Amino acid sequence: MKDDQIKSLMNDQDKFLKTEKSKSISQRIETLEKLKASIKSHEQDIVDALYKDFQKPEFEVLTTELYVAYKELNLFIKKIKKWSKPKSISSAWLNFPSSDKIYYVPWGKILVIAPWNYPFQLAITPVIGAIACGNTVVLKPSEHAPYTADILEKIISEVFEDSQAIVIQGAVETAQILLDQKWDYVFFTGSVPVGKIVSQQIAKHMTPHTLELGGKNPCIVDASANLDSAAKRICWGKFLNAGQTCIAPDYLLIHSDIREKFQQKLVETLKDFYGDSSKASSDYARLIHASHFERLDGFLNDQKVIYGGISNAETNFISPTLVDSPDFDSPLMKEEIFGPILPLYSFTNFKDLEVTINSFDKPLSLYVFSENSSFTNQVNESFDFGGGVINDTIVHFVNDKLPFGGVGASGVGNYHGRASFDTFTRQKPIVHRKNWLDIPLKYPPYKRLDSFKSFLNLFR
């Protein structure tokens, strides 16, 4: 779609994205069922598209893309009617007699900007929540995953009328034009630097928003940890999707007493996962594009590689790589890695952890492997992060009963399950006063000052 067409479309309020508030809950559920059926009919197309975009293994597509989407759909189909009911609230004394309620209403027109790393799931999941809550949606998928973007556009056009949901494809310029428009809500998933730009652009309209970003997620391995389990779960969480996961461990902090032993277990685990040559493994994805490959490949310059470090520019391939204690001022540690490179550091006491973790902005996630509950409690109480896991990595993402989101530089707001409902609706409070009693105390002329002072004493 051309830039002038986007502007024309956005300005044509009679045809484009009228609010769907009038749609009943049953109609929304029918739409969600239709969306579910469309995704199911295009499952193989989705698998094929993600392989074409960056050789994502089919198993990872099924588990990290489709499973998450189906789970969110099923939850909203089951719960949206219950969640949407007005909530009765006890009324204030001064309003007696009255009945008070909170109504959950859609924001209206929502812009969803999706990233490339999980290009189907991270696009469709917020759309599901927004539509279920009665909003209309413009989805801008990532131009870096063009095959998946085409499938998303095909599914959305099959299920929705243009007045309810539409996909607009394009690059940075298209995103900027969309962000220049006035929205009722903006939902953005992407990097911290781009998130800051998005926040600045929508600030001129004071648009409410959710920013799902990232950060340098620490992973702590205590001396008491189950090392076999920790090695498997860390390697899985880090090298899934070739490390292109916002909640993946960004660096390891390993207790010095077990450093050498655990390092060897990591190497053994990576060989078990991907063989002696991960390039030949059908279970290992590629990097999304050449510029991302060049960025990560450059990170390895002058680093002490413990394992891996093999790269191929023709296929955007970098093998699972372990790096020994890179300098905090190196490019590798200056920003979120977002790839299959894992720095390893040692620590001897809790002060070491504080110095390292507090050297970076508040992370999206934090992981700690330990059998010592006092230690895990100390970690949880000492550091601020979006969400975390004890004795595993990234699994908090799949529990739709947990809100998902960041804090500080790692994000604003959250979603998933009920949290998505809270994000894509706003609370509208209504007080319904009765007429059978009207206490004159509050009306001028104020002749009952002493009476109100006595009343006020109840609150003093």
At residue 309's C-alpha, the angle toward residues 307 and 313, to 5°, is: 160
d(CA 145, CA 123): 11
Exactly one of 133, 219, 235, 246 is catalytic; which is it?
A: 246
Exactly one of 72, 212, 219, 235 is catalytic; which is it?
A: 212
d(CA 186, CA 209): 5
The one-letter amino acid at 264:
Q
Instruction: Give pLDDT, residue 444.
Output: 87
| Exposed e or buried b per residue across 392-428, where buried means at least 16 C-beta atoms within 10 angstroms of its C-beta | bbbebbeebeebbbbbbbbbbbbbbbbbbbbbbbbee
Q: Are 114 and 170 in contact (CB under 8 A)?
A: no
What are residue 101's DSSP bridge partners?
A: 88, 430
The one-letter amino acid at 262:
F
CA atoms within 13 A on the CB side of 36: 17
Phi, psi of 68 (to 5 degrees): -65, -40
CATH 3.40.605.10 domain range(s) in the chain? 3-213+412-427
| Region for 215 from its dihedrals, namely left if φ exceeds 0, alpha if ψ lies in -120 to 50, beta otherwise | left
Instruction: Give pLDDT, residue 442.
Output: 78
CATH 3.40.309.10 domain range(s) in the chain? 218-399
Instruction: Give pLDDT, residue 439.
Output: 79
Which DSSP state fits 396?
Answer: G
What is the SS3 assignment for 159-211? HCCCCCEEECCCCHHHHHHHHHCCCCEEEEECCHHHHHHHHHHHHCCCCCEEE
Instruction: Give pLDDT, residue 21.
Output: 56
For residue 315, which of 352, 353, 284 has the smallest C-alpha distance?
284
Q: Please state which of the four CATH numbers 3.30.43.10, 3.40.605.10, 3.40.50.720, 2.60.40.420 is assigned to the domain occupying 3-213+412-427.
A: 3.40.605.10
Q: Is 219 a known active-site residue?
A: no
d(CA 174, CA 376): 45
Q: How far apart are the first and last CA of the chain?
A: 63
Integer angstrom CA distances of residue 114 from 153, 188, 294 = 13, 6, 23
Q: Is 133 a known active-site residue?
A: no
For residue 368, which of 395, 392, 404 has the smallest C-alpha distance?
392
DSSP, collapsed to helix, strand or coil, labels residue 242 as helix
Mean pLDDT of successive 10-residue segments in the chain (460 residues)? 64 56 85 98 98 98 98 98 96 87 96 98 98 97 98 98 95 95 96 93 95 96 98 98 98 98 98 95 97 97 96 97 97 96 98 97 98 98 97 96 96 96 97 88 81 79
Q: Are 429 and 405 in contact (CB under 8 A)?
A: no
State the architecture of 218-399 in CATH terms. Answer: 3-Layer(aba) Sandwich (3.40)
For residue 307, which of 345, 263, 275 has the smallest C-alpha distance?
263
Instruction: Give pLDDT, residue 459.
Output: 78
